[in-house]
Amino acid sequence: MYNVALVEEDKCIAEKGCRLCIMYCPESDCILMDMEKKKAVVVVDRCKGCDLCMVVCSTHKAITMHPVDPTTGKVIHDRGAGETAGLGQAYAG
Ligand code: SF4
Ligand code: SF4
């Protein structure tokens, strides 16, 4: 089980010129700019789950880490009130 980063578009202020996550991500071509939406977007397949982008975006909290189901390769979007429990279950698997 590993985590990947995802950008919450409504919190991302890339349209105001922020590129922090893109600058700090150690993986090349991993966080890109969606020029249409003017939002940062994570290329999930390239993300190594290092958390760095989430740390540098701590002011706007636009980036969250999500577990990936190892059997399906799909990102688990369980981020509701039961976030901790959801992650715990995911890690237990
Ligand atoms: S650091 Fe945060 S606010 Fe800035 S571009 Fe990245 S996701 Fe958007
Ligand atoms: S978690 Fe690390 S590798 Fe993944 S997008 Fe963020 S900075 Fe890049």
Q: Residue 87: pLDDT band by 50, 70, 90 thresholds?
A: very low
Q: How far is the CA of 54 from the centre of ligand 2 (A)?
A: 8
Q: Name the residue at shortest CA distance from atom 6 of ligand 2.
A: 53
pTM: 0.83
- What is the number of other CB atoms lying within 10 angstroms of the CB of residue 49? 15
pLDDT tens, residue by residue, 32-84: 999 999 999 999 999 999 999 999 999 999 999 999 998 988 999 865 544 44
In ligand 2, the atom with minimum distance to the C-alpha of 52 is: 7
Whether 91 and 83 have beta carbons less than 8 Å apart is answered as no
pLDDT of residue 73: 87
Q: Which structural domains are found in the chain, ordered by start?
A: 2-77 (3.30.70.20)
Q: Name the residue at shortest CA distance from atom 8 of ligand 2.
A: 25
pLDDT of residue 79: 56
Alpha-carbon dihedral sign for residues 74, 49, 47, 63: positive
Tokens representing residue 49 in the block: 């789950």
